[in-house]
């Protein structure tokens, strides 16, 4: 990585040469010209490519890259320069982004409850992708202390929750709040939602069908809001085989789709007769659940930790 002076708060890199090399080496592709690399990849068994990507996956993340054209600069740099499109903006995230499918990618023991040693090792490995080696120990300690002190020592899922919270905050919640603060601060209409509705199919056999249950501490997982947005609970065809949705989830999906369509048409998500969704300049956000609720910013400590404490450790 070219720049490790501060932790990245966006899933973007200036250079993807390192992960690309790891993938190509594992696939035994020695070509250097992009056209030839693509040609060999197209001729390769998809399962072989998937296996190469899954092996040591945290070091092979292929994310948006600064190319000088579509992405003229790193989005973090654009934020710092105050360059945003002057349009209304909805930003959202879920309350346990890292506690479901993403957390389970680390180890099959994740839903059962990780040991402290394993949790710290996972966090250290992920932090190593964004900070210098000489700062890794102090940052890892700060992160694990920050999240573990919020949990009961008797909680068997404590260290899984620490990993989940770290992952969800650093990859999704903190960057989203930073974007919301910046966009709203520039005078543009900004709306933030926070999904807490737990899909029944992830925890209730009556709705799960053949879907594998998620960890008991997973509420609204990464991507669960997309199901509501696309109206999965209202569809006759099965996008999610064997899964069922409750009447509450159907009502919530219908209302949420109405809200999103209203925003797409007018730039304002509020519909007559429904709970008002305030702009984020009030530090209020919509809690996406049935029924809708509006809450005051609950992320101040977490955002301050990542935007002040961690950068201070990296100096």
Half-sphere exposure of 161 (CA within 13 A, CB side): 19
Residue 179: give the domain boundaries: 85-313
Q: How far apart are CA 61 and CA 53, in angstroms?
A: 8
- What is the C-alpha radius of gyration for the chain, rounded to an integer number of angstroms? 21
Domain-embedded: residue 98 = yes
CATH number, domain at 265? Answer: 3.40.50.1820
Please tell me what DSSP assigns to residue 163: H
Domain-embedded: residue 279 = yes
Cβ-contact 101, 220 below 8 angstroms: no
Q: Is the pLDDT of residue 131 over 90?
A: no
Domain-embedded: residue 273 = yes
Sorting pLDDT into bands at 50, 70 and 90, what band is 7?
very low
Cβ-contact 114, 123 below 8 angstroms: no
- pLDDT computed for residue 3 by the predictor: 36
- pLDDT computed for residue 239 by the predictor: 64
CA 270, distance to chain mean position in Å, is: 25
Q: How many domains is the chain built from? A: 1
Domain-embedded: residue 16 = no
Domain-embedded: residue 3 = no
- pLDDT computed for residue 58 by the predictor: 66
How do residues 23-51 score in pLDDT, each as one tens digit?
999 999 999 999 999 999 999 999 999 99
Cβ-contact 97, 171 below 8 angstroms: yes
* H helix intervals, 186-298: 205-208, 224-229, 247-266
Sorting pLDDT into bands at 50, 70 and 90, what band is 2?
very low
Domain-embedded: residue 12 = no
Cβ-contact 196, 289 below 8 angstroms: yes
How do residues 186-237 score in pLDDT, each as one tens digit?
999 999 999 999 999 999 999 998 888 999 999 999 999 999 999 999 988 7
- The H or E element containing residue 194 is strand 190-195
Domain-embedded: residue 1 = no
- pLDDT computed for residue 202 by the predictor: 94
Tokens of 34: 């992009």
Considering Cα of 282, then 288, then 293, then 296, what sign does the dihedral take? negative
Mean pLDDT for the chain overall: 90
Domain-embedded: residue 5 = no
Q: Is the pLDDT of residue 4 over 50?
A: no
- pLDDT computed for residue 8 by the predictor: 46
- pLDDT computed for residue 6 by the predictor: 41
Tell whether omega for the bond before 291 is within 30 degrees of 0, i.e. cis: yes
CA 199, distance to chain mean position in Å, is: 18
Please tell me what DSSP assigns to residue 91: E
Tokens of 72: 């003229």
Sorting pLDDT into bands at 50, 70 and 90, what band is 5?
very low
Q: Is the pLDDT of residue 293 over 90?
A: yes
């Amino acid at each position: 990585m070219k720049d490790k002076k501060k932790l990245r708060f966006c899933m973007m890199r200036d250079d993807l040469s390192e992960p690309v090399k790891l993938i190509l080496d594992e696939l035994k592709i020695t070509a250097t010209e992009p056209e030839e690399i693509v040609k060999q990849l197209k001729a390769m068994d998809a399962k072989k490519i998937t296996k190469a990507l899954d092996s040591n996956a945290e070091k092979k993340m292929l994310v948006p890259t600064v190319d000088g054209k579509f992405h003229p600069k790193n989005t973090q740099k654009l934020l710092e320069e105050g360059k945003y499109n002057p349009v209304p903006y909805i930003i959202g995230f879920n309350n346990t982004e890292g506690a479901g499918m993403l957390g389970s990618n680390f180890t099959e023991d994740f839903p059962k409850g990780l040991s402290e040693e394993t949790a710290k090792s996972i966090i250290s490995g992920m932090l190593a992708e964004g900070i210098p080696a000489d700062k890794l120990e102090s940052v890892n300690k700060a992160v694990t202390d920050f999240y573990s002190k919020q949990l009961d020592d008797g909680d068997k899922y404590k260290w899984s929750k620490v990993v989940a919270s770290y992952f969800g905050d650093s990859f999704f919640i903190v960057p989203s709040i930073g974007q919301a603060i910046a966009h709203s601060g520039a005078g543009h209409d900004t709306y933030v939602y926070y999904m807490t509705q737990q899909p029944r199919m992830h925890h209730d056999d009556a709705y799960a069908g053949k879907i594998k249950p998620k960890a008991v501490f997973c509420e609204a997982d990464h991507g669960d809001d997309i199901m509501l947005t696309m109206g999965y609970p209202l569809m006759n065809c099965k996008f999610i085989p064997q899964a069922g949705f409750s009447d509450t989830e159907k009502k919530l999906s219908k209302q949420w789709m109405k809200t999103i369509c209203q925003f797409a048409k007018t730039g304002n998500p509020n519909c007559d007769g429904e709970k008002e969704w305030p702009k984020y300049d009030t530090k209020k956000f919509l809690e996406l659940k049935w029924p809708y609720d509006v809450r005051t910013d609950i992320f101040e400590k977490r955002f301050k930790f990542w935007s002040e404490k961690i950068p201070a450790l990296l100096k």
